[in-house]
Structures are given as structure tokens and as C-alpha cells.
Amino acid sequence: MILAGDVGGTKVHLALYDFIDGKPESSRDERYAAKEYSGLEEIVREFLGAQTVTAACFGVPGPVRDGRLRLTNLPWTLDSRELSVSLGVNHVFLINDLEANGYGVDELTPDQIYTLSEGDPSQIGNRALIAAGTGLGEGLLIWNGRSHIPYPSEGGHADYAPRNEDEIDLLRFLKQKYNGRISQERVVTGPGLTNIYEFLREVRGVDEPNWLAGRMAAEDPNAVITELALAAKSEICEKALDMFVSAYGAEAGNLALKLLSVGGVYVGGGIAPRIIEKIKDGRFMKAFTDKGRLSQLLVNMPVRIILDSRAALLGAAAYAEGRAAEISGISPRAASVKF
């Protein structure tokens, strides 16, 4: 049995996997509110109980160095060797969360992906992966002539690049709010959606009725904005989501240019499936392809939305099995294949 984990800034998603006819199959999964626990070990112990596992892999937000990292949005320091000893699991691996998503792409079935733009599907080459949630993750899937090899990136922390007057003023607003430099993650994330809403209210003067102010104060602001925008029940929420989707598409296009991802762009994370009807309305693709002299290059790139939130878990399970098999010489995936 393999333990897979997707560690985010607000939640930790854990799952147990076995392999059936070469494919990972989950037998159980649970989500935990990260800030209610002192660390990952406590969550894993609660999840596993008496269950034993042969290997574990956790996709984590941030750069992993020598099996260790300090999380950006949680006061946790993780070390694969310490986790291995304390949990009694022989093989424990920590990889970047977008790297885990990258390994998960090949495990997805066609019904778990929505093709936003066909592009030119005959092209073969690098792929890009971008995923907005609590943070903004970006990953690289490098084509080596035989397969795509996932690599992590911290591109979500690159400088935010405004493209029009509204976004220029948004940048000024955020620089004042955060007292300094603004990254893409301040805009193209769940908290970024709330930042855009506040900008529209405080700088552009878009009306926020009392009933909406009450909901924003009492509930999750991102959920409120998304709900009312998709239902067309609030002008300020609609405008905020429009700006968000356009910024998301633009940054996806930036990543595609930098990577020359002719093999396609995958949009993952928790936000995209929830707002897919808005993403379909053309605003995302217009910003994605709006790259001046290189626009046609972007038009030719397939763009796909990952619909299943378990992509990172699938990738972590695949990585754990593969690496543990290299070390031990025993492969549950290979053993599960029926001839």
C-alpha cells in the first residue's frame, strides 16, 4: 500500500493507493484543515491509524532541497528522513506539489480533462502546468524525446506584470497594501481574487451593497465572490472574477512562452474546475494568446483543464511507487499487470 499526500496552504489531502492492472486505485482518502494541526506527522498518524504502508510521497508547496523544506504558508519544516523514522515507513519522499501534479498528468483518464483549446495536437514537445489555489504553482514537463519529465518551478512568485490601466492601478493598490514587491501569487490565487475585489471596491468605487458586505465578513470571501459572479447576482463579484480569469490566462501564456510548451498547457489546482464555465467564455484564452508577434505560437498550443482534484495525489502515488521500486527492486505496479 502506498500513501500519497497533497500538502497545501490550507488543507492536507491524504490517500491510500494500490495498483490494479498497472493503474493506481485509491481505497481511502481524507482532507484535513492544515492549521488545526502542529505538523504533517500528526495528520499522517491520525489518517493511518494501524494501517501500514510500504512507501509515501507528499507533494509540498515550495522548493525541496535534499529531502527538506520549510513551507511558505504554514509554520512547518518537513524532512523526509525524519518522517521516515517517526512514521516507520521505509521510503518517504518529498517533492514539489506541481512536480507531483506533473507525474499525475499521465495517470489521468480522458474524462478527468477538459480541452479548452485544441490548438495543434500533432505538436510534440514540452508541456507547461499552472495551478492556482491558495498559492500559484507552476511546473515544467520537459520532453526528452521519449517521455515528459516533471520539474518544479517557483514561477508563481515571479513579478506580477500588469497589462492595462486597471491592472496597473491594481499593482499600485497591492504595492501599498503589502508595502513592497508584488508577485503573480498576489493576484492569481484565491486570496488574489479577494485582492481584486478590494481594489474594485476601494479604488474603482464599484458598489458593495450592505448584504454583500455582511456575507463577505461572515463567510469565505473567495467562495462568496465566485458564487455570486457565476450566478450573475453581483456586479462587483462579476468584475472581480473577470479580472482574475484574464490575469490567469495571461500568466498561463507567459509560462507557455518561457517553456515553449508546444506539447500543451495544463491548468490544474482547485480553482479552475470551480469556475470552468467562466474560463470557457473566451476571456482566459484571449489573454493567453494575446502575445503580440508570437500570438500564433500560443494559438497552436493545446490548453487543457484538469478536472480531478486528485491529480497531485495520483502523481505522488506514482512517484512513491517508482522510486521505492528503484531502491528495493520490488514494483507493485509491475506485479499488478495481468498478462
Q: Which of 308, 299, 319 is nearest to 276 (CA)?
A: 308
Domain at 93, CATH number: 3.30.420.40
In 3-state terms, what secondary structure has residue 173? helix
Compute the distance between CA of residue 172 and CA of residue 162 in angstroms, rounded to an integer. Answer: 10
Output the pTM of the full model. 0.92
Compute the distance between CA of residue 133 and CA of residue 13 in angstroms, rounded to an integer. Answer: 14
Does 117 lie in the same domain as 70? no
- 82 Cβ neighbours under 8 A, 6+ residues apart: none
The boundaries of the domain holding residue 326 are 2-104+309-336
**Dihedral, 249, 11, 55, 99 alpha carbons, nearest 10:** 20
Q: What is the pLDDT of residue 309?
A: 84
Residue 174 to residues 73, 171, 198, 199: CA-CA distances in angstroms?
Answer: 19, 5, 10, 8
Q: What is the pLDDT of residue 220?
A: 94
Does 113 lie in the same domain as 100? no
Compute the distance between CA of residue 43 and CA of residue 74 in angstroms, rounded to an integer. Answer: 14
Grid cell digits, residue 115: 480541452
Residue 36 to residues 31, 221, 225: CA-CA distances in angstroms?
Answer: 12, 20, 25
pLDDT tens digits along 46-57 = 999 989 999 999
Is the pLDDT at 73 greater than 80? The verdict is no
CB 226 within 8 A of CB 232: no
Does 205 lie in the same domain as 289? yes
- Calculate mean pLDDT across residues 192-202: 98
Does 234 lie in the same domain as 218? yes
Does 133 lie in the same domain as 69? no
Q: What is the pLDDT of residue 72?
A: 73
- Calculate mean pLDDT across residues 18-28: 91
Distance of CA 127 to the CA centre of its chain: 15
